[in-house]
């Protein structure tokens, strides 16, 4: 009898300790609410605009028997080009690079040295042709561009971003309705990015027939997002 009483007492002690350390309540664990239903969709918004700025680069390459002579001649030529650009209305003129290197003839021997200097410049699209012509007339023998952009690019992107949100909501509404549900609040929005893409549908600019033709066309600014809606 003493041994039986000791076993019963030990069992009661284990139960008491279990309550003290807080073992899981199996009944309460069954009452956990399921996660809210949601739907995630992507949205895209686009805005078209004619670019109003042009970015170009203008350079001069000069060859002389010695490196010193090539650099000196190139500096004189480049000053003329820079002055011509300024007079033609260029802005944000900045040196891109300067280089000097030897060039060889058919025998592999050094025949002389080539010096190059290049600057970048920005202008209104309407003035871009004049800049190219003025630089070439002043002696520029390396011209690249124009890279066309909009001065209000950030505002265009925000407009595209707003359209992307509208597009995402319309997509989500279609999916929710098809599944017999309705949309709730937006829980998360993840922004994608901007991507200006040329969209050509304009005729060439008018002007002097002898001037370099510049066709700005249109640029399409796109924004993409991912939106999660709760479902009701």
Q: How far apart are CA 116 and CA 56, in angstroms?
A: 16
What CATH architecture is 38-50+152-231? 2-Layer Sandwich (3.30)
Q: CATH 3.30.70.2970 in the chain, residues?
A: 53-149
pTM score, two decimals? 0.61
- What is the pLDDT tens value at each position of the chain, 232 positions in all? 444 443 434 444 444 444 444 444 444 444 433 446 899 999 999 999 989 999 999 999 999 999 999 999 999 999 999 999 999 999 999 999 999 999 988 888 998 999 999 999 999 998 899 999 999 999 999 999 888 889 888 999 999 999 999 999 999 999 999 999 999 999 999 998 655 554 444 333 334 444 667 777 788 899 999 999 999 9
CATH code: domain 53-149 is: 3.30.70.2970
CA distances from 147 to 20, 88, 192, 211, 230 (A): 75, 18, 24, 18, 44
Helix (H, G, I), strand (E, B) or coil at 230: strand
């Amino acid at each position: 009898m003493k041994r039986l009483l000791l076993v019963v007492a030990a069992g009661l002690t284990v139960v008491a300790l279990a309550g003290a350390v807080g073992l899981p309540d199996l009944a309460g664990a069954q009452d956990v609410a399921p996660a809210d239903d949601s739907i995630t969709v992507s949205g895209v918004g686009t805005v078209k605009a004619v670019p109003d700025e042009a970015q170009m680069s203008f350079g001069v390459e000069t060859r002389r028997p010695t490196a010193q002579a090539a650099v000196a001649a190139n500096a004189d030529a480049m000053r003329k080009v820079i002055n011509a650009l300024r007079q033609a209305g260029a802005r944000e003129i900045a040196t891109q690079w300067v280089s000097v290197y030897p060039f060889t003839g058919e025998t592999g021997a050094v025949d002389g040295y080539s010096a190059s200097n290049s600057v970048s410049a920005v202008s209104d699209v309407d003035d871009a042709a004049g800049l190219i012509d003025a630089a070439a007339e002043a002696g520029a023998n390396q011209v690249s561009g124009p890279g066309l952009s909009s001065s209000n690019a950030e505002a265009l992107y925000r407009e595209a971003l707003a359209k992307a949100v509208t597009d995402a909501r319309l997509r989500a509404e279609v999916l929710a309705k098809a599944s017999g549900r309705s949309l709730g609040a937006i829980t998360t929005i993840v922004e994608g990015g901007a991507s200006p893409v040329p969209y050509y549908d304009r005729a060439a600019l008018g002007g002097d027939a002898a001037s370099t033709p510049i066709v700005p066309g249109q640029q399409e600014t796109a924004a993409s997002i991912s939106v999660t809606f709760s479902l009701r």
